[in-house]
Amino acid sequence: MSLPDLIYRPRRLRRTPTLRRMVRETSLSPADLIYPLFVDETLDERRPVGSMPGVWRLPVSEVAEVAKEVHALGIPGIILFGIPAHKDAIGSEAWNPEGIVQRAIREAKQAVPELCVIADSCFCEYTEHGHCGVLTVTGDVDNDPTLARYAAIAVALATLGNTAGGMTTYALGRLVPERTRHKLDERALRRLERYGSPATFFAFLPLLGDALCFAAGWLRVNWPAALAFMAAGRLARYLLVAYASGALRAA
């Protein structure tokens, strides 16, 4: 389209690379990216995705290695898409604690704790019919039961991811020398010294939660028990949130 009335067409701010760098509004770097990982429960070794050159379907055993490679490139996060070995009418593998994405989350966070891990919560890949929800007898998506399943997926993923983060903080606490007690949160220490590992149930609380996890590691609290209580506390929190929102009552 021509603009005959525009006699002067200024290009002074685009004339040289230096000027273009000075005035450009948008820049793109690895720090702006999220790397997609397609994790396939049926594979023992990676396979290329034909429609996306350079993209692979991975077994869960390779997630940790790829997470480290992504982090080394300066990419701050990954998003996980799961391909389960078993599918059914309601996509139940999507909220299975030992499902493919849940296991991949554990692998990624253990390998690179600071990596941002995003989980795709759509469960079309988990249903045998390929729809993103539970179907009625007429083949339509039944909205209310579907929302309840999405809430279950969100609760499972949030519980797992948050527990992995808590245990990472616990592990960091174990590395701190014993003589540094004065630098730890006294509230957290008192609760743990009085109640032991059950105190980590409240590790989901804002502000106090991270201090509890760190102090539990410093005190060498039994880690399987701490893991169980952390997971139980986070599960209770997210179940309460999901129930209060009405999502879990929709089933």
- State the Cα torsion 36-100-213-206 to the nearest 10°: 60
Predicted confidence (pLDDT) per residue in 113-150, tens digit: 888 999 888 888 899 998 888 899 888 988 888 888 88
Domains and CATH numbers, the chain: 30-141 (3.20.20.70), 142-251 (no CATH)
Global pTM reads 0.69
Distance in angstroms (rounded) separating the CA atoms of residues 188 and 219: 11
- At 169 the three-state DSSP class reads helix
Predicted confidence (pLDDT) per residue in 57-100, tens digit: 999 999 999 999 999 999 999 999 999 999 999 888 988 888 99
The answer to whether the CB of 164 falls within 8 A of the CB of 105 is: yes
Q: pLDDT at residue 249 above 60?
A: no
List the single range of 34-43, 58-67, 80-89, 185-194 with lowest mean pLDDT: 185-194
Concatenated DSSP letters for 45-111? Answer: S-EE-TTSTT-EEE-GGGHHHHHHHHHHTT--EEEEEEE-S--BTT-GGGG-TTSHHHHHHHHHHHH
